[in-house]
Amino acid sequence: MCYEDKTKEELIDELKKRDRHTQEQSIKDNETVLRAILESTADGIIVLNHSSKVLHINKRFIQLWKVPDELLDEKDAWKIAEYVKDQLVEPERFMSEANIIMNNRTEYKDTLHFKNGRIYERYCHPLIINNVLSGTVFSFRDITQKAMLEKELMRSQKLYRKLIELLPEGVMVYKDGRLFLINRSAAKLLKQEKSALLGKPGGIAAKLHPDYREEAIKKMNKLLSSETTVDYSEEKLILTDDSIIDIETGSFSFKNEDQLFITTVVRDITERKRIQLLEKTISEKSELLKEAQEYNILKTQLFSTISHELKTPLNIIFGSVQLLEKLYDDKLLNKYTKIMKQNCYRLLRLINNLIDINKIEIGFYKLELHNSDVVKIIEDITLSVVDYTNSKGIQLVFDTNVEEKITACDAEKLERVMLNLLSNAIKFTEPGGEISVNIFDKGNSIIISVKDSGIGIPEDMLDKIFETFRQVDSSFRRKAEGSGIGLSLVKSLIEMHGGTIYAKSQYGGGSEFIIELPVYLVDKENISIMESAVTLDSKIETVHIEFSDIYS
């Protein structure tokens, strides 16, 4: 049939039919598109009408909630809810919330916690058709992994915070010029409570020393201009209590969500600086010491050279004088040769002492120890100067509480010690006075005392007289000759024996020199070689030399 054969009414009917068909087709198409969208999403979706009948449910929903087919067929939302609720940690809350949501026109979002640990996000949207609440669209998303990640993030954030908190270095983070974070070490360094500083501008807790401000401003401008780092440098901080501390500090700036943060790491280096200063002082001092030691060596070498150079001509003069004495037995000449010999001895004593002091200083002086009767050594040398004391009108007394005491000692050196002490005692004692030498046995040590009734030594000089070239040096009391070397040599010789010496005196009331020597023995072999060393002649010669300051 063609159009010409149809009536007008039939044609209108025909057109209406076609139009309806097109509309129906278009609705069907839209529905297909919507279903496809619902099925393609990763969320589980269920659409309910106002009487809780299921209008649509997607596969993901069924999969998420594990809904059985028979329930699906019934299309009853409450039956589905009743079935799935037991999977949740709080099933009753789930049911009551569902009720409220169904009766509300507002959107709703929350999280549901499952007994097996999974977490779903629930999003509900009211279904409003022609301004009438016609149902609700529920969508569920499995956010278990996201929640776990968030938890992990929180945990690591906590960990980092704790780490920063416990760092021995001070850490301060600034945001908009205000303190945003400060750890314990930084607060301690600034001598402040953390709470008093947080949110406050940077300069509140301490000020930078003026010497460092210019440089610090440059660094701050650099940090503010972009994400960057400024190297560690040393600075000084003036704290609120006006104390100044040395610090080492470095900073970096970083952006987070368009906000610029500046982090400063700071450590107190006051102690380190103090040690550095100390080290510098020590090295300067040791440099000076080294110079002094070098100078001392030079001086010692010079002394040694001069002393040896002097000794040769002196020996020639001495020998010539002795020859003169023998050749011409003339009274007048003898008077002068005696003076010449006396002065030769004095020079010889000075030179010998200088040589020995030098040797001791550079460690070349050695004792020849052998086991000898120290009582006999002291007694013999004391008695050998009786002529001198007699000629000076001084009484010399020797006493001992022990007959014999064998100990390792260098007899010759002990004799020199005694001659030095005795010659001093004679020098500083007036005629009519008394000198006593006493020995006390203390078992493990032996005490030798040389006491005189002379002019005495002022208390403040008692220690000093043992220093080289030291004399109690006021011209009115310098009744005797001397160079101030004797006692320092005596002290060195006694100390080389492992002993001690000190002086006791009352100014104007005499002096006493007390030696304490340890008693011990050395190997026998040493003895035989050493004992032959001291001959009678050399002993007399030593006395002459050591007593050369005393004119008889």
Assess 455 for contact with ligand ADP (CB under 6 A): yes
> Which of 229, 239, 247 minimizes the C-alpha distance to 197?
239
Stretch of residues binding ligand ADP (CB under 6 A), selected from 59-67, 284-292, 440-448, 486-494: 486-494
Among 454, 516, 546, 547, interactor with ligand ADP by CB under 6 A: 454
Assess 385 for contact with ligand ADP (CB under 6 A): no
Assess 501 for contact with ligand ADP (CB under 6 A): no
Query: How far apart, in whole angstroms, are the C-alpha atoms of residue 94 and residue 85?
Result: 7
Q: What share of the chain is helix, strand, coil (3-state, %, to 5)?
A: 50, 25, 25
Assess 511 for contact with ligand ADP (CB under 6 A): yes
Number of residues that bind ligand ADP (CB under 6 A): 20
Shortest distance (Å) from residue 464 CB to ligand ADP: 8
> Which of 406, 439, 417, 418 minimizes the C-alpha distance to 519?
406
Stretch of residues binding ligand ADP (CB under 6 A), selected from 114-122, 277-285, 308-316, 485-493: 485-493
Residue 272 is encoded by which pair of tokens?
Answer: 């380190």
Q: Which residue has the tokens 């002492």?
A: 353
Assess 433 for contact with ligand ADP (CB under 6 A): no
**Cβ pair 265, 169 in contact under 8 A:** yes
Give φ, ψ of 413 to 5 degrees. Answer: -70, -35
**Cβ pair 435, 449 in contact under 8 A:** no
Shortest distance (Å) from residue 486 CB to ligand ADP: 3
Assess 465 for contact with ligand ADP (CB under 6 A): yes
Select 77 or 465, whichever has its Cβ closest to ligand ADP. Answer: 465
Stretch of residues binding ligand ADP (CB under 6 A), selected from 32-40, 203-211, 479-487, 527-535: 479-487
Residue 352 is encoded by which pair of tokens?
Answer: 């010998």
Among 482, 499, 547, 550, interactor with ligand ADP by CB under 6 A: 482
Query: How far apart, in whole angstroms, are the C-alpha atoms of residue 206 and residue 170?
Result: 14
Shortest distance (Å) from residue 538 CB to ligand ADP: 22
Tally Cβ neighbours within 10 Å of residue 146: 12
Q: Which of residues 26-45 bind ligand ADP (CB under 6 A)?
A: none
Select 341 or 416, whichever has its Cβ closest to ligand ADP. Answer: 416
Assess 268 for contact with ligand ADP (CB under 6 A): no
Paired with 179 in beta bridges are 174
Stretch of residues binding ligand ADP (CB under 6 A), selected from 19-27, 46-54, 231-239, 477-485: 477-485
Counts of helices then strands in the chain (DSSP H, E): 17, 18
Stretch of residues binding ligand ADP (CB under 6 A), selected from 82-90, 322-330, 333-341, 481-489: 481-489
**Cβ pair 548, 422 in contact under 8 A:** no
Select 322 or 468, whichever has its Cβ closest to ligand ADP. Answer: 468
Stretch of residues binding ligand ADP (CB under 6 A), selected from 21-29, 77-85, 295-303, 421-429: 421-429
Shortest distance (Å) from residue 427 CB to ligand ADP: 6
Shortest distance (Å) from residue 552 CB to ligand ADP: 17
Shortest distance (Å) from residue 493 CB to ligand ADP: 12
Shortest distance (Å) from residue 401 CB to ligand ADP: 23
Among 270, 395, 483, 526, interactor with ligand ADP by CB under 6 A: 483
Instruction: Using alpha carbons only, give the angle 518, 488, 379 rounded to the nearest 5 degrees.
Output: 50
Residue 406 is encoded by which pair of tokens?
Answer: 């064998």
Select 228 or 483, whichever has its Cβ closest to ligand ADP. Answer: 483
Among 417, 439, 487, 501, interactor with ligand ADP by CB under 6 A: 487
Q: Which of residues 391-420 bind ligand ADP (CB under 6 A)?
A: 420
Residue 517 is encoded by which pair of tokens?
Answer: 């020597």
Assess 435 for contact with ligand ADP (CB under 6 A): no
Select 77 or 461, whichever has its Cβ closest to ligand ADP. Answer: 461
Torsion over CA: 269, 271, 274, 275 (sign): negative
Mark residues 197-226: x for contact with ligand ADP by CB under 6 A, - for none. Answer: ------------------------------
Give the gyration radius of the chain's Cα atoms: 56
Q: Per residue, what are the HEC states of 75-89?
A: CEHHHHHHHHHHHEC
Q: Which residue is nearest to ligand ADP (CB)?
A: 482
**Cβ pair 350, 483 in contact under 8 A:** yes
Residue 133 is encoded by which pair of tokens?
Answer: 């609440």
Among 400, 424, 542, 548, interactor with ligand ADP by CB under 6 A: 424
Residue 204 is encoded by which pair of tokens?
Answer: 């509140």
Identity of the amino acid at 126: P
Assess 426 for contact with ligand ADP (CB under 6 A): no
Beta-carbon-side half-sphere exposure of residue 499 (alpha carbons within 13 Å): 27
Select 139 or 429, whichever has its Cβ closest to ligand ADP. Answer: 429
Among 425, 517, 545, 550, interactor with ligand ADP by CB under 6 A: 425
Stretch of residues binding ligand ADP (CB under 6 A), selected from 15-23, 142-150, 395-403, 452-460: 452-460
Give φ, ψ of 255 to 5 degrees. Answer: -105, 135
Query: How far apart, in whole angstroms, are the C-alpha atoms of residue 55 and residue 188?
Result: 66
Assess 547 for contact with ligand ADP (CB under 6 A): no
Strand 370-373 vs strand 406-409: parallel, antiparallel, or unpaired? antiparallel
Select 112 or 490, whichever has its Cβ closest to ligand ADP. Answer: 490
Cα 64 from chain centroid (whole Å): 64
**Cβ pair 135, 55 in contact under 8 A:** yes
Select 436 or 471, whichever has its Cβ closest to ligand ADP. Answer: 471
Cα 380 from chain centroid (whole Å): 60
Residues within the interface to ligand ADP (CB under 6 A): 420, 424-425, 428, 452, 454-455, 457, 465, 470-472, 482-488, 511
